[in-house]
Structure 1
């Protein structure tokens, strides 16, 4: 243990492998948050866990003290000292690269996608109703399909290869940080890097030959920072990040939200009888099942939340813990679709607040509207043992549902 860590603040948490994270990767922090404002886990060479809403929000808003670098997803272009863009940059450098993707995920462009997303959702529901009987595996039949279809289109990837893409992302985000898990992470990161490098080369050749594309990689290749076109390496470091984030988080959100609604018919009845509840319901379920776990690195010796932290210390931010903090949310373990205010941190805060939040909210709203218009009754199939994962993103491995 580092000498600056008080013994009374040491508590083991391995957010990849502990059995509790496969059962309840969000709620397992509820008791720890009330016992510790901050604690230190020796796992993975050690990290501070900041458990409460106010402290997490402050960490997000102090990049001069808590840097976003390094993240270094194993095997990817950010692993081994080369920074991914823009997630591993701090202000002001971060702003130059973030400005390139903000318009792509802004309300105007994302709003224009609504009809296409709605038709895609209904096509998936058509297939479920026509070909699956009364039992489905929701993650495979819908939660993976909708967001992955939309995001592969945006990146210019062939959807036919989506299973391979999902496998790579799952290995990078959900495998252990040690042993065989770390090997899988590195291998998958290398495969993603190789795949995207080839795709970037193809899109660059299209630009040179006058072929017009409107996918994200082409947009990045045509973008400039400080008057200079992005290099292929810079495009790789940005597209790798988009690939990882875009192919997992909204899938996880669908699984967690629909599991709650399957288990809680009185809440489901609210949105079935009055779809006006849906936007509030989404925000409340984002709070209750906040599933993204961030990390920061301490830039210099400092005192924070009553403890001494040293330069280079890692800080873990379990968003589910912050979003159930009773110091910020009244009755946080009660799901209330009328909750106001609801300042959850599901999309983080500060300079690195999630760029894809507009797309995520739109996909979730359309899913809630169309699914519950057509399939208002469903439940988790009796006798099912649900397994989950945590790591960088918490979520369900599968969600068997019985319809009707």
Structure 2
């Protein structure tokens, strides 16, 4: 599966600062120490309703991570998956009388278009669950043969008790895990499981649903968590720098994936940091496919909204914060974009070297994009109120905003 084209990232003078970021597992701020190549895995979409603002906010956060690392003169190895077969996708295809593969391909293509328009840097590997199946099957077999998985009516489950470090990603108690498991795709009430929290690794073929040959596992399809584990281990290996996604993925998805990988490899942890973006609401409720209260990037673009304004609306909220999308949020972003573009359109202006460092400092501090925007606002306000004579300043501001915030002026 191919990703989307990369926009050019302008080079800035000097060198950026090392990223400090909040780690869900340790519940504190850490400074990852990647080598010359920083490694990041971000969980991708299940392509049946793409791309809503909640998606865009999450991928914007991890795009900032890449930009901060690139500014430190590192390379970035970024991997993202697409869960192009799963129950929600099959249910939506059935509801809309569509072939599930056509639905997945259509929504994935739309996602690529939106990511391109928003200037999100693409992953080096963009891998679908279906194409990953040949690598998933041996991992499930290894877990089963090691006694870390068991069969129940043809399905294969992972035993969470096989990992001594289970629970160290989300830091939740058993009851909270059980409630979230039921809410987020698990089946804690299924009779016969060794532990209610045990997640499915391989689902035996069901009538009328797609399935694949799974060698000794029989025909079926992979569970959600093992999909990301297989892709991450194949392309990044253990101990990669950041595992990212929305805050709703901390449990069960990232917790279960970490346990799968740790049992498979005997190493801990799977990722050096688990980083999670907040949720976006609409009309007082979390924006979600199940509720249908979605604002789509593609619909905004069709309505004539500049993608740069959409991105500024996302950047106006800290990535870890839960926030609400409103017309006012977008209107403020449109007005900000107009002010910034007007300021950098002048042939000269106030010196901007200090601004570059302010933006770098803000983003290195747990991706504080609102502080970065405020710094640019101050330069713009001063630029509009003065007669600066630095001919290089407007261009430097434009390059800084593009390189570090992904906004083209």
TM-score of the pair, normalised by structure 2: 0.23
Q: Which has the higher contact order (CA 8 A, sep 6+)?
A: 1
Rg larger in structure? 2
TM-score of the pair, normalised by structure 1: 0.23
